[in-house]
A and B are shown apart, each in its own frame.
Chain A
């Protein structure tokens, strides 16, 4: 379903993602882990056509993300690390705007919006503006929105960041149900390793832009002779604290401008 081969992204002389290759099968839940600034979000942006790779190739369901960007976008749904909702729209308008943009037929759209807002327990609040929603409600709305056009793959970039345990639990329960019932492929990044153990079929660990390990949670624990996934992760990536991801990309772009590349 997702085939990534020798993917590289550089910003000037700085290499954000280096020669990354992996495959994700249909219906699989794939976790992409790494410390802050490791290259997770840059990879997700390239996979979802937001960022052009410097070299290498990404195929989504056999379609090249550069040559067939629009077809790829129809097949994927994305929940970004930071919120991407328009606070001035109501929950229903948010869904309806997204559905119209993805050309979901009007009759089907209304029914699908009702179904998804009910699934994520937001139907009662459909006429409220999004800026009145809590962080958890906004996250649920983003996931509902990303499913509206019936994507075959969903990308969840740290979807549970800042959510309370109850909301996190409910959210993953719903994602697992979707994965099992509709065979939706899930590509996720998170720092909560207990969540990964609970939901992921396979894991890839990225550090300093390179994939350093791949396998099931049990295989990674075995490879590193660790008892838990957290221990395995620390064994693979070390225990030193990394710089924040949010400052990494802008810094790299600035450097690229200075060096003129």
Chain B
């Protein structure tokens, strides 16, 4: 536990010291929230779908969680490239604990970024159905953060340079975000797209968040929780395995 706590604390300390990183990773979700949110709001209302800000906000929080989580993998590639990882690997602690500590740290940072985004959503006019729903929303946020931090770790464990990681992330993050239902409702989609969206684990995260905050689920809370928990466990397993096989 000591090792997990230390590695968690290290990630959190680095995050607090990097103000540029805090603001930079908030940029994209806030742009979507304020530009797309207010831009589409009138059309959405005209179409009889209610408030777009109300619909979009849980999706934007999910996107903020996704991008911050996978970016923790970038930190791993950085630490590997610049030697920091070696110092941890020669310590008398099992690598799996090092991986868990780093993943928890990355997930905590993503959770904080998600909460900051949530505050921005409140400023933009989003109103949750009730305060009592926030703990359930927090559970979904934590699961999304853990799942995608583990995915970032798994991918980063196989890469040695920052450029490759950036390319893979761009290739992955955009489709995962766009297919998750964060920006548009997943109803009445063409059949193929409908099935693809169901294969996207973030769809269940966004649905869980949206359901927890507004009370309307598409897949249902238990299915959302089950898919997210299983995916998180699988990705933690894969991430742990690949991390333990890193050769420096």
Contacts and interface: CB of A to CB of B under 8 A. Distances in A.
A67 interface: no
Contact of B160 (A71, A80, A250): A250
A51 to B, nearest CB: 7
Interface stretch (B48-56, B90-98, B118-126, B172-180): B90-98
B89 interface: yes
B3 interface: yes
A102 B18 contact: no
B2 A100 contact: yes
A73 B87 CA distance: 11
A82 B83 CA distance: 7
B247 interface: yes
A48 B93 CA distance: 14
Given A70-B92, A71-B92, A253 B3 contact: no
A38 interface: no
B92 A73 contact: yes
Given A49-B90, A73-B91, A101-B93, A86 B160 contact: no
A88 B14 contact: yes
A72 to B, nearest CB: 8
Interface string A72-103: 01101010101111101100010001101111
A133 to B, nearest CB: 15
A80 to B, nearest CB: 6
Contacts of B92: 70-71, 73-74, 102-103
Contacts of A125: none
B88 A101 contact: yes
* Most A Cβ at <10 Å: residue of B6, B13, B79, B91: B91
Contacts of B88: 101
Given A73-B91, A102-B92, A250-B160, A84 B6 contact: no
Contacts of A74: 92
A169 B53 CA distance: 66
Contacts of A85: 83-84, 87
B86 interface: yes
B17 interface: yes
A115 interface: no
A78 B14 CA distance: 24
A45 interface: yes
A48 B90 contact: yes
Contact of B6 (A78, A83, A97): A97
B10 A97 contact: yes
Contacts of A93: 13
A73 B86 CA distance: 12
B84 A101 contact: no
B29 to A, nearest CB: 25
A186 B222 CA distance: 59
A119 interface: no
A212 interface: no
Interface of B: 2-3, 6, 10, 13-14, 17-18, 79, 82-84, 86-94, 160, 247-248
24 contacts: A45-B248, A49-B90, A50-B89, A73-B91, A73-B92, A80-B83, A82-B82, A82-B83, A83-B82, A83-B83, A84-B84, A85-B83, A85-B87, A86-B10, A88-B17, A89-B13, A97-B6, A98-B87, A101-B3, A101-B6, A101-B88, A101-B93, A103-B92, A250-B160
Smallest CB-CB A-B distances: 8 pairs = A84-B83, A73-B92, A84-B87, A70-B92, A101-B91, A74-B92, A84-B86, A82-B83
